[in-house]
A and B are shown apart, each in its own frame.
Chain A
Amino acid sequence: MGDRSRLCSVWLGSETGILKGVSLTRKQAFNFCDTRQLSRDQEVRVLSWGDPPAESELLLGLVDGTVRTFSTEKGAFTDARRCGDPQDGCFAGLAALSSSTLVSCTENGAVRVWAEDSREPVTKLEAGKTVCRMRQSPVSRNKVATGGKENGLKIWDLQRPEAALFSAKNLRDDWLALRRPHWVRDVAFIPDSDKVVTCTGYHQVHVFDPSTPQRRPVLEAEYGEYPLTALSLTASGSTVVVGNTQGQIALLDLRKGLVCGCLKGLSGGVRGLQCHPSQPVVASCGLDRFLRIHSLEDRRLLHKVYLKSRLNCLLLASLELEEGAGGQVEGQAEVKEEEEDEDEVWASLEQVEEETTKRKAAEKDEETQKKKKKKGKD
């Protein structure tokens, strides 16, 4: 089990409670779950790394309020902690402060810091009535950002839980002098600066800058007509990838707020999006039970994996997704499928290949056109 988990470069949590690890080099997907006891109560809501630089432990936040730890070295669940009651709602965010403390946030706005082996939280924070997402700042571990429905972006310092460091103001009233509705769905901290980018359920993307006295968004951009559910920043920090409930994923440029391009392929709502920290690659998962990996430079689909349950969240490991990704794409001309059936190993992966040279694509087009003409004549 340990060797399988060490191979996996993408981790996903599903609605059936199964933790899935996908290894793209070996083109296999593995299920890691507790014996044969599956239940909907163990639906995985949030995934995060337990020890950020080393990335050998995963924290899973489940629907019934427990947080389980999974070790990638051993390939098994090592710990389960009770962090809050199910009445508080499902987890909206989970992050590790250090190797033994973690901070969790439920949908009712209860942000709690849990130390190891204690039933009661060390610090308690109320972050509004509904919180859809809580994220930790990669720069300073004590800062977290929360946002929810009719609950604007708030940045908290966990060591001073009385008041928020930054609390965003709602947008100005619209041209009819009506209050603008506000629904923060996902939050991300922009690297190398203080800024925070959020995406809303009213198909807007906002950038806030806490260092300026302006509490309203510094940049506002819109995409589509459906609520944006997931957000991820690219490694460079100037583009953001957003996904909405219809499965449309777009790349937005943060300097002007314009759409750079869209990623095709998803047919269901996007639940999880993450850009790879070093490679120009983005992984997306959603309600259509597929994991898709797109390349950010040419927006092509690199990998598509069918994982039989609806997927809630995903995590990318910092290591290389697959060795020699460029070389493999050119060499192969067929779609390969490998299947292995073992007790707990589900392997079904299809590598989607498209012709790399433009000439080849043009020739193909000509061929299909000729065929169409022939059919028309007959």
Chain B
Amino acid sequence: MNCEACHLKELEVESFEIREVLRCILHTIVFHRALGLIRPKDIDLELFDITYVQCGEIEVEKKIDDKIEQFITWIDKHPNKKSQICLSFYEVKTKQPSWFTNKIERLYWEQWFINLNVLQPTKSPTGKSQHSKLVMDPGEESEERSSRRTLLEQSLQEVLFQIIKFVNEKKDHVPPINDGVIYCPFEITFPSSSDSTFGMDMIKRMLHSGGHPSMLS
């Protein structure tokens, strides 16, 4: 089975915006992959004039929130310029028992890469890298922040449109709807460094398809 990958547009976010941005994106993606009977929920973002949709499953909400918190903690410890979160959907396959005790295999069929450029609180006017706090007029700083917020909102909307387009364009790889399954199982990972993210994911995919479950769990 093909594992489709979607790399979303990079977003420049401040640390306090990470939570809302990630919730919006992750829930939107998971909602599109919650093909069981759901009762969606509309959630209005507080920082942006955007309404996103949750599938309404508490487990999903909790899982996503936990992962976001872990990511934020990780970001604080590793203030890299760019970070990436990988949302992967998989199917659980059981194989014949072999000398591997673990017979459960995850077959990834879709991966989403959310690219964030986390701006540090003492951001420069460009906001692209970590700089010492510049002396700026409060008015200018607020204007800059406001404009940056507006741009981020537009970018976030573009990301959501991107998700919709991807979901629409590629449907064949989606597993069939199984009775009793509300949402497709997924996992959220954030690699330690952005440089090796894609490579690691590729390796994981290859290993998955190669059938070495113990290395990929």
Q: Do A and B bind each other?
A: no
Q: A residues engaging B (CB < 8 A)?
A: none
